[in-house]
Amino acid sequence: MYFIVIMAFALVLSDKLPVEAALILKLDDASSLWLTIGIVLLQIPVMGLLSGIGAVRTQYRLDGTADGHDAAADELSWFQQIELFVVAAMLVFVMVSTAWPTIVRLKWGLGDYPLAAELVMLAPTGLALLTGWAMQYRAELRLRLEALELPPEPGFAADVSNQRTDGMEAISASMRRPDEKGTGLVPFLADKIRHHILFLAVPMCIIVFAKHFIYAYGDAKATWLVTLPPEGPTRALILQSALGTVSFVVLAMAPVMLRYIWATEPLPDGPLRKRFERTCERIGLRYREILLWHTHGMAVNAAVMGFVAPLRYIMVSDALLESMDDKEIEAVFGHEAGHVRHWHLPFFGIFAIVSMYVAGGAMLLQNFVCMKYGWIVDLGIQQLIGLGSLLGMWLFGFSWLSRKFERQADLYGVRCLTPDMESCVKYCPVHGESRRPGLCVSAVHLFGKTLGRIADLNGIPREAPSWRHGSIQSRCELLEQFANDAEALSRFDRYILRIKWGMIVLALIGTVVASWLYYEPVMRSLGWK
């Protein structure tokens, strides 16, 4: 879902869409206008119908058994993947091949108002998503409730519903107590909007708002820009640098916004908070606050947000604390701490820089090809190529990198559990007779149980692939392999290190190439050469 939101704002940030050559219907008269609007609004019933079919088939498979629950989870997961693909395809089609952006920006005159045109252009897609979630509400709720009622599978986490845990004490001491109406349709949709749309949409809206004023200021021929050619590289570089600076500040402040976009409060003082604080002190993890994240019991999850300690928040959801025992909660916490200790967030920032260089290089290559063969440069197609390259990097490159980092965070979570293991098996490389380097077998087993429990409670099949995380089954199998093969573990650690150094080198090469390309034209337009 996050990729859909990123793609949506990337499309509306492009001011050269739709592409003239790809238009299926031109705005010749009133009938073509209304037909275009009808095509755009068709997203809503299509999504509702598809989601409704998925919800019915999911509930049909729920029969109160573990096998029925797994089959229903598989069904819902498959339909949700199809729905995301359909939403993305419809969004790209509407923005690239219909006159919808032209209608909103020019016909209705909203292009002169900051953020208005962008929000109106994306409103049908947002309504389509909302319709799909509403249709699937009952199916998701039944999956969640049945997961809590089913007996645990052999070898997986025990039921803690009748146990008093530190997590439950924290929930009881919180200011926002869970209520029976919390799982109603309206709270469910509100949480979906908060967690899947506003999470990225609020920072992106601020960036879109800033773009409007930055470029309006440039178009008004500000005193320090008046001597520059209106279409020259220097002017474009200055405006893009200003927008990039604003974007960096907004993204750095995003964790603070997220604290209030999501329903959170400081984790109440008690045994669980003290345990988290001791773990953070032991591993050297600094943060601003540990937060209890209220999801009306619908999300079993945790997160660490923030590049730097003064803006870093650790979040644990209410459902996680309600449904997990203390050791499992600590395992999830250790995984999230691993993202910070291994600098994953800064490296995602480096990846973003590399992806922008790739998109810029694709646009330069298109210019070169057009000049070589005497073709006319279509600015719409040029932006589409750059946008396609950028989205391709995030769709494939980011997902690949994220999955590697998830495995590294899993390893860190296992290592965080290791010092607290009271008993272990004789063949454990850490606690057994050999005392050789490696992973604690008991810690790996506990971490695997925790991942399996999270999958069950969230209604996710353990073998289901994930864009960012990979399947639960593949993550557990990799940990088991590392527990039995210390050399494979060492190879993986070196592999991740090479990836990180490779990203740094690519970012430096991109910076050098960009400086070389822009240096002479910028110096010339400034009159310094």
Residue from 474, 458, 336 nearest 403 by CA: 474
Phi, psi of 376 (to 5 degrees): -80, 135
Strand partners, 317: 293
Residue from 80, 32, 30 nearest 58 by CA: 80
pLDDT at 91: 92
Asked if residue 462 belongs to a domain, the reply is: yes
Dihedral over alpha carbons 226, 227, 233, 234 (to 10 degrees): -90
- Give me the residues of the chain with pLDDT under 50, please: 155-162, 180-182, 221-230
CA 60 vs CA 57, 68, 97, 138, 380: distances in Å: 5, 9, 38, 12, 47
Asked if residue 34 belongs to a domain, the reply is: yes
Give residue 492's domain range: 342-529
Q: How far apart are CA 248 and CA 243, in angstroms?
A: 9
Asked if residue 459 belongs to a domain, the reply is: yes
**Neighbour-count burial of 473, counting CB atoms closer than 10 A to its CB (0-12 exposed, 13-18 middle, 19+ buried):** middle
Residue 25 is given by DSSP the state S
Q: At what angle do helices 399-417 and 472-484 cross, to 10 degrees?
A: 50
Asked if residue 501 belongs to a domain, the reply is: yes
Asked if residue 268 belongs to a domain, the reply is: no
pLDDT at 5: 86
Locate 442 and state its tokens.
């008991």
Asked if residue 163 belongs to a domain, the reply is: no
| Count of residues in the chain | 529
Q: How far apart are CA 466 and CA 449, in angstroms?
A: 19
**The last residue of a domain, from among 127, 150, 173:** 150
Asked if residue 397 belongs to a domain, the reply is: yes
Contacts of 275 (CB under 8 A, 6+ apart): 166, 326, 330
Residue 48 is given by DSSP the state H
H/E run at residue 303? strand 302-305
3-state secondary structure of 307: coil
Total domains present in the chain: 2
**The last residue of a domain, from among 132, 150, 168:** 150
CA 285 vs CA 71, 76, 138, 301, 335: distances in Å: 40, 37, 40, 19, 12
Asked if residue 85 belongs to a domain, the reply is: yes
Q: How far apart are CA 513 and CA 320, in angstroms?
A: 47
Q: What single letter denotes the amino acid at residue 282?
A: R
**The last residue of a domain, from among 117, 150, 183:** 150
- Per-residue pLDDT of 370-411, as tens digits, reads 777 777 766 667 777 877 888 888 888 998 999 999 999 999
Locate 131 and state its tokens.
């319709």
pLDDT at 157: 44
